[in-house]
Amino acid sequence: MSEEFEPKIIAFLCNWCTYAGADLAGTSRIQYPPNIRIIRLMCSGALDPVYVIRALTEGADGVLIGGCHPGDCHYLNGNYKARRRVGILKTILDKSNLGSERVTLRWISASEGQKFADTVKEFVDKIKKLGPNPLKERMV
């Protein structure tokens, strides 16, 4: 296959900040790779790790989680809790060698359209270097 590997990335974005940031990137006509599939959540703190794991076991090459900057959470502290959950998740994936580097948590506000586009570009490049998720081939 000479075709370049195009990763599939699932993005869980919070309704108040990062999703609005993605929206701003769009309305501002900022270009970014089309590799991501966005799922909107009310809060990054509402993301159960099971969804991230499921995405990875079913073959997503990366998972991007976006929330409000610390101190800016619409629900006061959901993003701080998300950070703990993602910390645990990444520790587990790291110890078990299942690709903790395929999960990224970023704080992106509603006004940071450019940062959103840059994050996606950067993450897609990183995953392209890592190659396809080996779990894609595993029989679940």
Interacting residue ranges for other proteins, rule: CB under 8 A: 49-50, 53-54, 57-59, 67, 70-71, 77, 80-81, 83-93, 95-98, 104-107, 135-140
Q: Give the nearer residue to other proteins in terms of CB position, either 110 or 135.
A: 135
Instruction: Tell me the C-alpha distance between 30 and 90, whole Å.
Output: 30
Q: Give the nearer residue to other proteins in terms of CB position, either 24 or 90.
A: 90
Minimum CB–partner distance for residue 72 and other proteins (Å): 12
CA distances from 6 to 2, 113, 127 (A): 12, 23, 9
SS3 40: strand
Pairing of strands 62-67, 9-14: parallel
Q: Give the nearer residue to other proteins in terms of CB position, either 25 or 90.
A: 90
Minimum CB–partner distance for residue 29 and other proteins (Å): 27
Q: Give the nearer residue to other proteins in terms of CB position, either 20 or 65.
A: 65
| Contacts for 126 with CB less than 8 Å, ≥ 6 apart | 62, 101
